[in-house]
Structure 1
Amino acid sequence: MACFFDYKTRAIMFLRLVVLLCMLVCSFAHLQRFEHPAKADGTLSFLVIGDWGRNGSFNQSQVAHQMGRIGEKLDIDFVISTGDNFYDNGLMGVNDPKFEESFTKVYTAKSLQKQWYSVLGNHDYRGDVEAQLSPVLRKIDSRWLCLRSFIVNAEIAEFFFVDTTPFVDKYLMDKDHTYNWQGLPSLKTYRTNILKDLDLALRESSAKWKIVIGHHAIRSAGYHGDTPELINHLLPVLKANNVDLYMNGHDHCLGHVTSQDSPIRFLTSGAGSKAWRGFVNSNYGKALKFFHDGQGFVSVELSQIDARIVFYDVFGEVLHKLSLSKDLHSAM
């Protein structure tokens, strides 16, 4: 009887191990892909906003109003959120009223009733992470789509969304806040697999434009500044695969930094609500092309041959323009 019990116990443990391994493989073996068609003429336009969810306060509603105006003017196809979607501690569950109060009831303009593609930020990890990823929210507001890491294929451009919070070591040692790593059995496994899968997806991409989106900055002149873990692990993958833009939030500002050893442009759009005024890292020198320490957002227009990127303030005024050419791949 004892032998049978031991055999049965081992069999159950083995089956549980198999199930766990299958879960890991299914979770990390590939990046989920979504298709989003470009316009009939082959062009694409969208807005980028980050660090916004404050129930409309800290000028979030004012920024949203101007996003609606510019979104209508450009006939945008979708909106990208660079994370920290709900302050201060993410959502408490799928029924948290903060979702509607900070998202549905704020971004009400007709032009913003398009798909929103969102990544998680570090503040989102302080709440119920699985809530933001849940399809239940899509039933509440069909615009919402938030996953850890995924790809959006928009014909002339491919967008590679990367959940960067698990890369940042300091969150593992933060004694002041609790981070919810639910759904990530191993942070090391996640990091290894997402880099491998991203590298493969970028190498296989035939899109004219390759754009990577994450919450944390690789290069930024804002308060948080550069993220060493991303410089060491993510940046080499981007360089090796001719990525055009890396777009992030985290720093509550707008910024544009160039690279000395690659054509990658580092664009920060984390000014959706509360901004941090009075701080700029001036160590970048000529690599820092633009910085604004107030609220605002970014628009991007893409064609087969060029990209037009504009930074706006809380009043919808143009602060900075950037033009790129696929032929020259340099600012005009």
Structure 2
Amino acid sequence: MLLVSRTAEAELERFEHSTRNGGDGSVSFIVVGDWGRRGAFNQSLVAFQMGRIGETIDIDFVVSTGDNFYDNGLTGENDTAFEDSFTNVYTARSLQKQWYSVLGNHDYRGDAEAQVSPFLRKIDTRWLCLRSFIVNAEIVELFFVDTTPFVDMYFINTENHTYDWRVVTPRKVYTENLLKDIETAVKESTAIWKIVVGHHAIRSIGHHGDTEELVQRLLPILQANGVDFYMNGHDHCLEHISDTKSPIQFLTSGAGSKAWRGDVKGLNRGGLKFFYDGQGFMSVQLTQTESAIVFYDVSGNVLHRWDVSKQLHPAI
């Protein structure tokens, strides 16, 4: 059951997610991004394998890293793309869990308010998409960040696309307040694992590369406050890059449908652990002391695995 509350310190909506794993504190979930194409471009095949892996590892929920509906988001609350690209595609039994989603830049090209509307939850109760929010799942807290308003190009180059900035403007105030809220939340978090989720990459060797606005403004907050993983989409690939200045691992899962072979900026990057220019998704399994990150291709084959142990400090 989801319990919603507001904190006095921040405007971030907070959700408590109770896991089903017998109280042992373990949490499992799948991460997928850049998917909403009415099943086309292998979206349905990726969804099938997500369902298979989801059942194998007994997932608690699904995380979507944005660009949920192509090419231009939803036209409104009654847009059939919602059911055609979400409800009717992710039909596996294991995927009938809560979905936590952020907005991507393509989502902002449509009616962004429609995607975050409670009305969509009446159509499909799995759907929960907000601009920025926190999910507390026992041993892990996930901090979902609305990254699109940080990116200068969407405000400078508007010749080809329009964006739904109704809640975002004035932009400077919006992004500054969001950064303050996120900094407060991650600093005060007592979770064993801290994960930040956004649409845009902080580090990537894919088509879009690093998002410099996030490197300058968000990354220092994550480095200073013990964040373990930053997970994103945007680049239509799968990749894993280690931070060179902190333990943070940058994990891109933006291969839920359309992808481009060879769309890479260079494989000689420091900290690069894995890159795959095809379709697929990622799974995450956490216990109090261990984490396992696994990347899968469109056929469900394991492409890369990353295991991390965490030493717990005894309570004083």
Q: Tell me the TM-score range normalised by the shorter chain.
A: over 0.9
- Which amino acid counterpart does residue 293 of structure 1 have in structure 2? D
- The equivalent of 2:220 in structure 1 is 236
> Residues 19 and 138 of structure 2 are in contact (CA less than 8 Å); yes or no, is this contact kept in structure 1?
yes
User: Of the candidates 262, 268, 273, which is equivalent to residue 246 of structure 2?
Assistant: 262
- Which amino acid counterpart does residue 233 of structure 2 have in structure 1? G
Structure 1 position 197 matched with structure 2 position 174: no
Q: TM-score, normalised by structure 1?
A: 0.89
- The equivalent of 1:6 in structure 2 is none
User: After superposition, what is the alpha-carbon deviation per residue over 1:54-102, rounded to whole angstroms, capped at 9, x for unaligned?
Assistant: 0000000000000000000011000000000000000000000000000
- The equivalent of 1:109 in structure 2 is 92
Query: Where in structure 2 are the equivalents of 1:88-237 lying within 5 Å?
Result: 88-174=71-157, 175-237=159-221
Structure 2: segments with no counterpart, 5+ residues: 1-6
Q: Which structure's CA Rg is the greater one?
A: 1
Bigger proportion of residues as helix:
1
> Residues 89 and 123 of structure 1 are in contact (CA less than 8 Å); yes or no, is this contact kept in structure 2?
yes
Secondary structure, aligned partner of 1:195: helix
CA distance in 2, matches of 1:85, 1:78: 16
Tell me the CA shift for residue 221 of structure 1. Answer: 1.1
Output the aligned Cα RMSD. 1.6
- The equivalent of 2:236 in structure 1 is 252
The percentage of counterpart residues that share the same residue type is 68
- Which amino acid counterpart does residue 68 of structure 2 have in structure 1? N
Tell me the CA shift for residue 281 of structure 1. Answer: 2.4
Moved more, 110-119 or 284-293: 284-293
User: After superposition, what is the alpha-carbon deviation per residue over 1:120-171, rounded to whole angstroms, capped at 9, x for unaligned?
Assistant: 0000000000000000000000000000000000010000000000000000
- The equivalent of 1:55 in structure 2 is 38
CA distance in 2, matches of 1:214, 1:186: 21
How many pairs does the alignment contain?
Answer: 304
CA distance in 1, matches of 2:261, 2:97: 31
User: After superposition, what is the alpha-carbon deviation per residue over 1:9-52, rounded to whole angstroms, capped at 9, x for unaligned?
Assistant: xxxxxxxxxxxxxxxxx9x9421100002342210000000000
> Residues 244 and 270 of structure 2 are in contact (CA less than 8 Å); yes or no, is this contact kept in structure 1?
no
User: Of the candidates 16, 24, 37, which is equivalent to residue 35 of structure 1?
Assistant: 16
CA distance in 2, matches of 1:89, 1:280: 24
Structure 1 position 309 matched with structure 2 position 290: no
> Residues 62 and 315 of structure 1 are in contact (CA less than 8 Å); yes or no, is this contact kept in structure 2?
yes
CA distance in 2, matches of 1:280, 1:305: 34
- The equivalent of 1:14 in structure 2 is none
Distance of aligned partners of 1:176 and 1:198 in 2 relative to their CA distance in 1, 3 Å threshold = same
Structure 1 position 282 matched with structure 2 position 263: no
User: Of the candidates 250, 270, 283, which is equivalent to residue 299 of structure 1?
Assistant: 283
Moved more, 305-314 or 179-188: 179-188
> Residues 256 and 280 of structure 2 are in contact (CA less than 8 Å); yes or no, is this contact kept in structure 1?
yes
CA distance in 2, matches of 1:130, 1:29: 21
> Residues 262 and 277 of structure 2 are in contact (CA less than 8 Å); yes or no, is this contact kept in structure 1?
yes
Secondary structure, aligned partner of 2:105: coil
> Residues 54 and 273 of structure 1 are in contact (CA less than 8 Å); yes or no, is this contact kept in structure 2?
yes
> Residues 38 and 156 of structure 1 are in contact (CA less than 8 Å); yes or no, is this contact kept in structure 2?
no
CA distance in 2, matches of 1:308, 1:283: 24
